[in-house]
């Protein structure tokens, strides 16, 4: 009995949790549960959703955070320069390996038979032999010829695409990380008093400096690392930004996937050395979009990020559109607590 009363209190959880807010977590009752169960940051993805929703969520989250005496900050995640498949027929389009595929990088252009429209706001900087990846990298094309805005490719893999699917151009450089949509969204974010702005598809420190011209000093910047150019310029990006996010979704498409684990570990370590927070994002508990429990691999993924020294880990679809958003948060919190307990014990032993 005495031992129970004098049991030392464990340190508070140090690794923070970012929850993406979406249709699955839009109800007040669910938002309150997220705040109560350990959400430290609420991420609003401005690639989707409506401004009125974001404004209401911000008010609700702040109300519940105050009631629960917890600090919950809001992250505005900008869409950035996106490239997507334009409007296709409802049934989509089948692509067969070895066949010719013609992409038209102008969604408003008049299409010839069989051509695929691409919505593009980053400019066109392709050359022969470049790779084009579609639908999370499942479809790979190789550029054979460029005729103004028409790009003739050969399909290296087969697949089926639909309107709105993402297109990645690993070899190209964006003209700017900020689009006109981003600039409009930033104004709304400042009115909502967001604490953080996440800048998508950062390629260099200049992108961070450009964003700083449009925001208040009180708002902090997260540089999303999701392009090969960002890895090359990582040192300068870390110095310019307030935090970095290892955004494994697009990053895992634009670089060879087997390089991702080492890049993640190096990015976390270099951010720590620079005294900057790092966030590991995408597919951390991806199976919990539909399942009630995470896979063993996902449990290890979260734990290893914590042990490596990540400042925060993020839930994306798990809380935005998943069937079990609160359960996903609780699962992540428990994994973090166990990993941190191991880390503290290990560090203590190394000092003895």
pLDDT at 296: 98
Q: How far apart are CA 264 and CA 278, in angstroms?
A: 10
pLDDT at 4: 42
Residues involved in catalysis: 43, 84, 224, 282
pLDDT mean for each 10 residues of the chain (352 residues): 42 91 97 98 94 97 97 96 88 94 87 89 80 92 92 96 90 81 96 97 96 95 96 98 96 93 98 98 97 98 98 98 98 97 79 58
Asked if 100 and 108 touch (Cβ cutoff 8 Å), the reply is no
Tokens of 84: 């997507």
- The burial class, CB within 10 Å (0-12 / 13-18 / 19+), for 294 is buried
19 closest CA partner among 336, 325, 349, 334: 325
pLDDT at 66: 97
Phi, psi (degrees; rounded to nearest 5) at 215: -130, 170
The 3-class SS string of the chain reads: CHHHHCCCCCCCCCCEEEEECCHHHCCHHHHHHHHHHCCCEEEEECCCCCHHHHHHHHHHHHHHHHHCCCCCEEEEECCCCCEEECCCCCCCEEECCCCEEEEECCCCCCCCCCCEEEEECCCCCCCCCCEEEECCCCEEEEEEEEECCEEEEEECCCEEECCCCEEECCCCCCCCCCCHHHHHHHHHHHHCCCCEEEECCCCCHHHHHHHHCCCCCCCEEEEEECCHHHHHCHHHHHHHCCEEEEEHHHHHHHCCHHHHHHHHHHHHHHHHHCCCCEEEECCCCHHHHCCCCCCHHHHHHHHHHHHHCCCEEEECHHHHCCCCHHHHHHHHHHHHHHHHHHHHHHHHHHHC
185 closest CA partner among 206, 169, 200, 207: 200
Tokens of 32: 């309150």
Asked if 214 and 190 touch (Cβ cutoff 8 Å), the reply is no
**Domain spans, the chain:** 13-80+176-351, 83-168
Q: How far apart are CA 254 and CA 31, in angstroms?
A: 34
Identify the architecture of domain 83-168 in CATH.
Beta Barrel (2.40)
Q: How far apart are CA 206 and CA 240, in angstroms?
A: 8
pLDDT at 9: 42
Tokens of 175: 């003209």
pLDDT at 121: 63
pLDDT at 17: 98
- The rounded Cα 261 to chain-centroid distance in angstroms is 16
Q: How far apart are CA 281 and CA 320, in angstroms?
A: 13
Asked if 339 and 306 touch (Cβ cutoff 8 Å), the reply is yes
Tokens of 41: 């940051």
Tokens of 76: 């505005």
Residue environment code for 236-260, b if the CB has 16+ CB neighbours within 10 A, otherwise e: ebbebbebbbbbbbbbbbbbeeeee
Asked if 167 and 85 touch (Cβ cutoff 8 Å), the reply is yes
CATH superfamily of 13-80+176-351: Phosphoenolpyruvate-binding domains (3.20.20.60)
Tokens of 337: 């607590």
């Amino acid at each position: 009995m005495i031992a129970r009363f004098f049991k030392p209190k464990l340190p508070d959880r140090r690794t923070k949790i970012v929850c993406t807010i979406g249709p699955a977590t839009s109800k007040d009752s669910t938002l309150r549960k997220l705040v109560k169960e350990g959400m430290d940051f609420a991420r609003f993805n401005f690639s989707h959703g409506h401004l009125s929703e974001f404004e209401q969520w911000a008010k609700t989250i702040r109300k519940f955070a105050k009631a629960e005496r917890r600090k919950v900050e809001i992250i505005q995640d900008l869409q950035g320069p996106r490239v997507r498949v334009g409007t296709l027929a409802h049934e989509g389009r089948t692509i067969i390996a070895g066949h010719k595929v013609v992409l038209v990088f102008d969604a408003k252009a008049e299409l010839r038979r069989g051509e695929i429209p691409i919505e593009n706001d980053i400019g066109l900087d392709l050359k022969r032999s470049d790779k084009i990846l579609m639908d999370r990298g499942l479809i790979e094309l190789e550029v054979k010829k460029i005729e103004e805005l028409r790009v003739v490719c050969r399909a290296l893999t087969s697949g089926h695409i639909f309107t709105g699917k993402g297109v990645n151009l690993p070899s190209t450089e964006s003209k700017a990380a900020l689009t006109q949509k981003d600039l409009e969204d930033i104004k709304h974010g400042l009115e909502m008093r967001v604490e953080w702005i996440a800048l998508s598809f950062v390629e260099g420190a200049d992108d961070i400096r450009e964003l700083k011209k449009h925001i208040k000093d009180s708002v902090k910047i997260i540089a999303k690392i999701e392009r090969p150019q960002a890895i090359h310029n990582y040192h300068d990006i870390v110095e310019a930004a307030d935090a970095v996010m290892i955004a494994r979704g697009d990053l895992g498409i634009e670089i060879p996937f087997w390089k991702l684990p080492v890049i993640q570990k190096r990015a976390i370590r270099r951010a720590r050395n620079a005294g900057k927070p790092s966030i590991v994002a995408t597919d951390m508990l991806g199976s919990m979009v539909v399942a009630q429990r995470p896979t063993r691999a996902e449990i290890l993924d979260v734990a290893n990020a914590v042990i490596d020294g990540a400042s925060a880990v993020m839930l994306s679809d798990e809380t935005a559109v998943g069937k079990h958003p609160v359960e996903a948060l609780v699962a992540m919190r428990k994994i973090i607590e166990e990993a941190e307990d191991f880390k503290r014990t290990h560090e203590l032993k190394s000092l003895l």
